[in-house]
Amino acid sequence: MTRANPLSDYEETAATPLSRRRFVEGVAAIGGIAALRPWRGAIAAPRQPVLSGTEFQLEIGPVPINVTGRPMIGIGINGLVPGPILRWREGDTVTLAVTNRLSEPTSIHWHGLLLPNPMDGVPGLTFRGIAPGETFVYRFPVVQSGTYWYHSHSGFQEPKGHYGAIVIEPKGGYPQAFDRDYVVFLSDWSDEEPETIISNLKFQADYYNFDQRTVGTFFADVGRDGLKATLADRAMWGEMRMSPTDSLDVTGATYTYLINGQPPAANWTALFHPGERVRLRFVNGSAMTIFDVRIPDLPMTIVQADGIDVEPVTVEQFRISVAETYDFIVQPRDDRAFTIFVQPQDRTGFARGTLAPLPGMTAPVPPMDPRPVRTMADMGMDHGGPGGTSSTGRAAASGTDHAAMGHAAMGHGAAPAMAGMVAGTSGQQVPSGVGVDNFAMSPTERLNSPGEGFPPGRRVLTYADLRALKRGADPRPPSREIILRLTGNMERFMWGFDGKKFSEAAPIELARNERVRFVLINDTMMDHPIHLHGMFSELENGHGEYRPLKHTINVKGGERLSFLVTAEFPGRWAFHCHLLFHMEAGMFREVRVA
Ligand SMILES: [Cu+2]
């Protein structure tokens, strides 16, 4: 069918019931946005909407968006979802006048950038926010280079489309040559309001897991799509039975996964001439989704992590946690298309794009990888003994194995509301209270593991692979250690540090220029991407002074890891889990540098 006017999709699809396939794969074109992205003849500069220079005007406002066939209103920047790519040059000073056309306050946070505290864009911490109708002028020097991103730090605006990429050209040129580059911006879209999603999670933590929902929707889909289509869908979705221990709180039950704002059916495509070196700038701008990315038949060489150049390492697949950015160079030599295949960690859907020599070319969509199965080691409960007990963590946490499980002493049911620390069975101090339903008995560093859910034999990027090209700027050893436990009560959808929500906790105080080590111990069964604003987190991953500088560090379930920080810039900095609903539920601290 020809669709001359993308807006006609609205009329056509509004009355159509939403099939599961339509929902997972989305619709072929997003009204209003697709129109901005036509191919015009031969390969030219990237067709992605880019703003470059030093002066910018950005308008944040409502924008029509249609991912699944239902016309919705999202939040766009200059009418776009994602917002325009901002291309800056290291060493410039940029001025961004941001006007709020919404009916509620908004903000832009420049994720991963080192800048003066009042420019960081966190309402209530670094500024008042931007009131409806108001224009706020951000102005700051650009002191770094690399791939970053920007997003709202107000309410639940980010998952509605309030995000975009930042590309900063390095002053001294790139260490690795490439012929063209593309931003590959990953996100998760739901037709449900974020407020509805979090209230569903608070009502029932496994609301978006499938075990209760599969049978009913199966027959509903058969009725709509016929048995064959439904079975094909089900095969694609893979193993459907999910337990409360699943890796993600919010799943493909409500999310359609996007590449550069496009659902799988729209198949966002990047062009190349065979033999060219193509730099792909991956940004995970999701609210709640950790992704695994691969391009079958095309090795990917990492050159940058969180905006910082790293020693090139060639892999077949990588996991990108929420808010991380990774740059890879690929060199497709054959005159054929390649699928950019992006699976959420829990395998409940996919995002899909294509690298191709010509528009319209496609490659097969590969089968899903196995769904991650949690092991005792994942839960920080591996005592190193033989047998390798494999168990889902929730089973352990709900009391089947008291010796190993580390069930929080006072953490269940009508436990006292005050969080505190109690001695665990092994004598360690562990958090307790209503905000804690589990703790890691023997948390281990697993930086050389990519996590669960990958077939054996596949070369998957790990944190241990990340080695900075440049030596760290501050050679001082840390003067002290700050140990924080990442805690949660899954039943109540409460998340925090040391069993406390943001509202119950005092700020973490750092002296200006102090060098400290943060130790994070993940007492929960899920991964948490921990983001510290305003300063680099230097991951201690065995590379000595060549520690990678990260802005977001993913801490796997049951894992212990550490990073170093130099508190260079004074101010009130946010420190939080970047899973939006975990942050909202309390996994947030202020780090005060004075
Ligand atoms: Cu989290």
Read off the tokens for 456.
């054996």
pLDDT tens digit string along 346-364?
999 999 999 999 999 999 9
What amino acid occupies position 5? N
Ligand 1 center–CA 148 separation, angstroms: 20
Ligand 1 center–CA 22 separation, angstroms: 30
- Angle (CA) 300-303-305 rounded to 5° is 105
| For range 67-89, the mean pLDDT | 96
User: In whole angstroms, how large is the CA radius of gyration of the chain?
Assistant: 23
Half-sphere exposure of 225 (CA within 13 A, CB side): 21
Ligand 1 center–CA 567 separation, angstroms: 24
Cβ atoms of residues 393 and 557 within 8 Å: yes
Q: Between 414 and 588, where is the model more confident?
A: 588
Q: Which of 18-22, 32-36, 89-93 has the lowest mean pLDDT?
A: 32-36
Superfamily of domain 8-178: Cupredoxins -  blue copper proteins (2.60.40.420)
CA–CA dist 497, 521 (Å, integer): 10
pLDDT tens digit string along 526-536?
999 999 999 99
Ligand 1 center–CA 526 separation, angstroms: 7
42 CB-contact burial (10 Å; exposed 0-12 / middle 13-18 / buried 19+): exposed
Quote the percentage of the chain above a pLDDT of 70: 77
Ligand 1 center–CA 574 separation, angstroms: 14
Ligand 1 center–CA 95 separation, angstroms: 33
Domain positions in the chain are 8-178, 372-594
Ligand 1 center–CA 517 separation, angstroms: 20
pLDDT band at 375 (very low <50, low <70, confident <90, very high): low
Write phi, then psi, for 161 (nearest 5 degrees): 120, 0
Predicted pLDDT at 209:
77
Ligand 1 center–CA 31 separation, angstroms: 33
Ligand 1 center–CA 375 separation, angstroms: 19
The candidate with the shortest Cα–Cα distance to 17, out of 64, 73, 68, is: 68
Predicted pLDDT at 35:
35
Cβ atoms of residues 486 and 475 within 8 Å: no
The candidate with the shortest Cα–Cα distance to 355, out of 314, 295, 300, is: 295
Read off the tokens for 303.
């050159």
Superfamily of domain 372-594: Cupredoxins -  blue copper proteins (2.60.40.420)
Predicted pLDDT at 38:
37
Ligand 1 center–CA 496 separation, angstroms: 8
Ligand 1 center–CA 557 separation, angstroms: 10
| For range 99-108, the mean pLDDT | 98
Q: Which of 64-68, 239-243, 308-312 has the lowest mean pLDDT?
A: 239-243
Predicted pLDDT at 454:
95
Read off the tokens for 54.
């030093």
pLDDT tens digit string along 485-509?
999 987 788 899 999 989 889 999 9
Predicted pLDDT at 490:
78
pLDDT band at 157 (very low <50, low <70, confident <90, very high): very high
Ligand 1 center–CA 322 separation, angstroms: 10
Task: Report whether pLDDT(213) > 50.
Answer: no
Q: Between 241 and 594, where is the model more confident?
A: 594
Q: Which of 9-13, 54-58, 520-524 has the lowest mean pLDDT?
A: 9-13
Ligand 1 center–CA 334 separation, angstroms: 41
Predicted pLDDT at 23:
81
pLDDT band at 441 (very low <50, low <70, confident <90, very high): confident
Ligand 1 center–CA 522 separation, angstroms: 10
pLDDT band at 225 (very low <50, low <70, confident <90, very high): low
Q: Between 522 and 376, where is the model more confident?
A: 522
Predicted pLDDT at 436:
80
Residues 6+ apart with CB under 8 A from 410: 416, 422, 432, 433
Predicted pLDDT at 217:
54
Ligand 1 center–CA 175 separation, angstroms: 34
Ligand 1 center–CA 321 separation, angstroms: 11
Predicted pLDDT at 380:
55
pLDDT band at 190 (very low <50, low <70, confident <90, very high): very high
Cβ atoms of residues 21 and 217 within 8 Å: no
Ligand 1 center–CA 527 separation, angstroms: 7
Ligand 1 center–CA 581 separation, angstroms: 8
Predicted pLDDT at 376:
54
Half-sphere exposure of 365 (CA within 13 A, CB side): 17
The reply to whether 8-178 and 372-594 are identical in fold is yes
Ligand 1 center–CA 284 separation, angstroms: 15
Ligand 1 center–CA 488 separation, angstroms: 9
pLDDT band at 391 (very low <50, low <70, confident <90, very high): very low
Quote the percentage of the chain above a pLDDT of 90: 67
Report the chain's mean pLDDT, rounded to a whole number: 83
pLDDT band at 228 (very low <50, low <70, confident <90, very high): low
Write phi, then psi, for 80 (nearest 5 degrees): -120, 145
Task: Report whether pLDDT(266) > 60.
Answer: yes
Ligand 1 center–CA 564 separation, angstroms: 20
Predicted pLDDT at 574:
98
Ligand 1 center–CA 480 separation, angstroms: 25
Ligand 1 center–CA 471 separation, angstroms: 30
Cβ atoms of residues 50 and 181 within 8 Å: no
Cβ atoms of residues 309 and 470 within 8 Å: yes
Q: Which of 183-197, 395-409, 568-582 has the lowest mean pLDDT?
A: 395-409
Ligand 1 center–CA 578 separation, angstroms: 6
The candidate with the shortest Cα–Cα distance to 559, out of 461, 492, 462, is: 462
Cβ atoms of residues 369 and 292 within 8 Å: yes
pLDDT tens digit string along 275-324?
999 999 999 999 999 999 999 999 999 999 999 999 999 999 999 999 99
